[in-house]
A and B are shown apart, each in its own frame.
Chain A
Amino acid sequence: MKLSLARLTATQKSGLAVALLGLVAAFAGSPYRGPVYTVDAQELARVVETTVDHVTAEDVADWIIQGRTDFRLIDLRTEGEFAEYHIPGAERVPLTALAGYGLQKNETIVIYSDGGIHSAQAWFLLTTQGYKGATMLFGGLEAWKDNVLFPRPAENPTPAQSVQFAKMKEVSKFFGGTPQMDSTAAVTAPSFTMPKLETPQGGAAARGTSPVKKKKEGC
């Protein structure tokens, strides 16, 4: 066969190149390989040390009140616990299902459980997989109860602390909590009544149908 490459036009050569690239592609395997993530232990340790991996309960409360939708709130507890109470807007995802849950690698993901251990494990899991925005609720749901639902004033409040407490009382009421007036009684007080899950109704499904939505990515 006397097919000379030199006799082909530039267009024909490009066409040939495309056909070859396509042919190789047909046998090359899957393109869904994605980058390989390397875990830098030093960097992780630094992040933990400086607590930039944390977000406080007050901050999350502020975000929810502002109606922000640019973060995901992930509850790691059991279904029963979740049904009893969860932070409005939270999505229940067990630790084992986290990797395949469809979180985006660039979005802020706030993880919480009762205390800190489970969320720390989940945070590590997500971080090593390249989820840059993974962060833990500082102190977990306990901190949410102490600081947001049932805040109590400091013992000898400074003016700044008083202003802060006045604000937290409003925040607490927004989430159906009961601010504590006595700064010491809370230690021995019987269990608080948790707010009912009526408004704002939580869960991913409720979020999806709410009129306020995150902008879509396509046209």
Chain B
Amino acid sequence: MQADVQPLTAEQVGAHTHHAVPRAPQPYTNPYLAGFGLGLVLLASFVIMGRGLGASGAFSSLVAFGADAVAPEHTRANAFYAEYLGDHTRHPLMDWLVFEVVGVFAGGFLSGILAGRVRMGIERGPSTTNRMRLMYAFAGGGLMGIGAKFARGCTSGQAMTGGALLNVGSWAFMMCVFAGAYAVAYFVRRQWQ
């Protein structure tokens, strides 16, 4: 602060204070309003594409692409990977869900930067360590990866999309997601305490 002896223009002052005092993150949008916006995006996807949103499918394409690069014979003999590789007339990553998920990253970043919520760090409770929190995050991710594949989708592709389409499997899945999470919540509460 004291190093600044030269007179500053208004613009420089603005830039300076911006760095010295990080803008406080704005509060989150009202859940019903955010949900309404999300619902309109989902509806737009139905109307324009005839399909809903997704997330886990993009990672399956990524995995299938990676496996194909490492061991093509092995990968092509596997019916699960084959479904994400397609008929080889198109690159496996030239995929609708892959591009949609790239958009999710961009949209999340856009919203975060506008609201002053982009911040590098690890989110955890005070009584746990970073190491512990990352281990939980990794293990949870692994469980979700397997679960999403058995369910043919995740909270986006099944619960939300299929929920709006009144898909029987999606509703059964959604109930079980909540049931599974509530059943395990107690045992991992330390992360946030």
Q: Which residues of A contact B (CB under 8 A)?
A: 11, 14, 66-70, 211-219
For B86, what are the chain A residues with a Cβ–Cβ distance below 8 Å? 213-215
A211→B154 CA distance, assembly (Å): 25
Stretch at the interface among B6-14, B55-63, B114-122: B55-63
Q: Which of B32-59 contact A (CB under 8 A)?
A: 32, 51, 54-57
- Interface pair B57/A219, CB less than 8 Å apart: yes
> Which listed residue, A11, A67, A217, A218, touches B87 by the CB 8 Å rule?
A67
Residue B67 is within 8 A (CB to CB) of chain A in the complex: no
- Interface pair A219/B153, CB less than 8 Å apart: yes
- Interface pair B51/A217, CB less than 8 Å apart: yes
Q: List 11 A-B contacts (CB under 8 A).
A: A69-B89, A211-B76, A211-B77, A211-B79, A211-B82, A212-B87, A213-B82, A215-B83, A215-B95, A218-B157, A219-B153
- Interface pair A70/B154, CB less than 8 Å apart: no
> Which listed residue, B32, B76, B77, B154, touches A11 by the CB 8 Å rule?
B32
A67→B76 CA distance, assembly (Å): 14
- Interface pair B88/A219, CB less than 8 Å apart: no
For the complex of A and B, the 7 pairs showing the least CB-CB separation, nearest first, are A219-B157, A219-B153, A219-B57, A215-B86, A69-B87, A219-B54, A212-B87
Minimum distance in angstroms from A217 CB to a CB of chain B: 6
- Does more than half of chain A's interface fall in helix, strand or loop, or is it mixed? loop
Report the interface size for chain B: residues with CB under 8 A from the other chain. Answer: 27
For A67, what are the chain B residues with a Cβ–Cβ distance below 8 Å? 87-89
A14-B32, A215-B86 provided; 17 other pairs, C-beta below 8 A? A66-B89, A67-B89, A68-B89, A211-B82, A212-B87, A213-B83, A213-B86, A214-B87, A215-B83, A215-B87, A216-B83, A218-B51, A219-B56, A219-B57, A219-B148, A219-B154, A219-B157
For A215, what are the chain B residues with a Cβ–Cβ distance below 8 Å? 83-84, 86-87, 95
Minimum distance in angstroms from B35 CB to a CB of chain A: 10
Q: Which of B75-104 contact A (CB under 8 A)?
A: 76-77, 79, 82-84, 86-89, 95, 97
For B54, what are the chain A residues with a Cβ–Cβ distance below 8 Å? 218-219
- Interface pair B87/A213, CB less than 8 Å apart: yes
A14-B32, A66-B89 known; A219+B97 contact, CB < 8 A: yes
A73→B11 CA distance, assembly (Å): 67
For B87, what are the chain A residues with a Cβ–Cβ distance below 8 Å? 67-70, 212-215
Residue B152 is within 8 A (CB to CB) of chain A in the complex: yes
A216→B61 CA distance, assembly (Å): 11
- Interface pair B55/A219, CB less than 8 Å apart: yes
For A70, what are the chain B residues with a Cβ–Cβ distance below 8 Å? 87, 89
For B89, what are the chain A residues with a Cβ–Cβ distance below 8 Å? 66-70
For B55, what are the chain A residues with a Cβ–Cβ distance below 8 Å? 219
A215→B85 CA distance, assembly (Å): 7
Closest to B58 in A: A219
A214→B96 CA distance, assembly (Å): 13
A24→B105 CA distance, assembly (Å): 38
For A211, what are the chain B residues with a Cβ–Cβ distance below 8 Å? 76-77, 79, 82
A216→B156 CA distance, assembly (Å): 16
